[in-house]
Structure 1
């Protein structure tokens, strides 16, 4: 089980780094999302992989599972969702302004008459 989880974390991290280094915005967004998934799995795995054990220590329980990584993962899920939403909006706005989804703006822009105008929008 530990090998499977560590392999999944490694593959998600490798794919996330590869996509985050791409020159287009949407692969970068997907790469950051995969990196956040890998981080969530890593945080969850730090709580020891224990089955059918209570998260609360009591005098009659010999083994328990750590509830802190679960709370950290829930917090990380909310933060990564918000971060992804902000990055998607920024990428969309950048595409509408420049006519290109290239990260550094070096791609050929779409002519102004072929793209939607953004004047008057917030």
Structure 2
């Protein structure tokens, strides 16, 4: 049983990151904490995707390497997803700054109260 947990430790960490990110996004009232939770969730997805693409004993897909080969596609997709994640984080934080300038708070409940008072 311990060997199975040690062999699949990266999966456990990936699902832990997914859980922590989801909890942070759902449970927090602060918009900045929600953005941080989204980043933690994305990191869990990245880790899961890379770990699931791992092939034990495989080599890079070069002409001089022996079979089996590792597919470079998951790594390319994760690099693209990282760039999209950074862009999404920048937009989310920019919107958060604008919301703070408009309403004077980053709390969801505070924003609702300000909107209701207007």
TM-score bin, normalised by smaller chain: 0.7 to 0.9
Does the 8 Å CA contact 1:43/1:72 hold for their aligned counterparts? no
Unpaired runs of at least 5, structure 1: 109-122
- Give the deviation of 1:85 after TM superposition: 0.4
Deviates more, 1:2-11 or 1:24-33: 2-11
Q: TM-score, normalised by structure 1?
A: 0.77
The residue aligned with 2:3 is: none
The residue aligned with 1:74 is: 79
**Does structure 1 residue 30 correspond to structure 2 residue 50?**
no
Deviates more, 1:67-76 or 1:44-53: 44-53
Query: RMSD over aligned Cα, in angstroms?
Result: 2.3
Unpaired runs of at least 5, structure 2: 1-5
The residue aligned with 1:39 is: 45
- Point out the structure with the larger helix share: 2
Q: TM-score, normalised by structure 2?
A: 0.79
| Greater RCO, 1 or 2 (C-alpha within 8 Å, sep 6+) | 2
Does the 8 Å CA contact 2:14/2:47 hold for their aligned counterparts? yes
2:108 equivalent among 103, 109, 120: 103
Does the 8 Å CA contact 1:44/1:69 hold for their aligned counterparts? yes
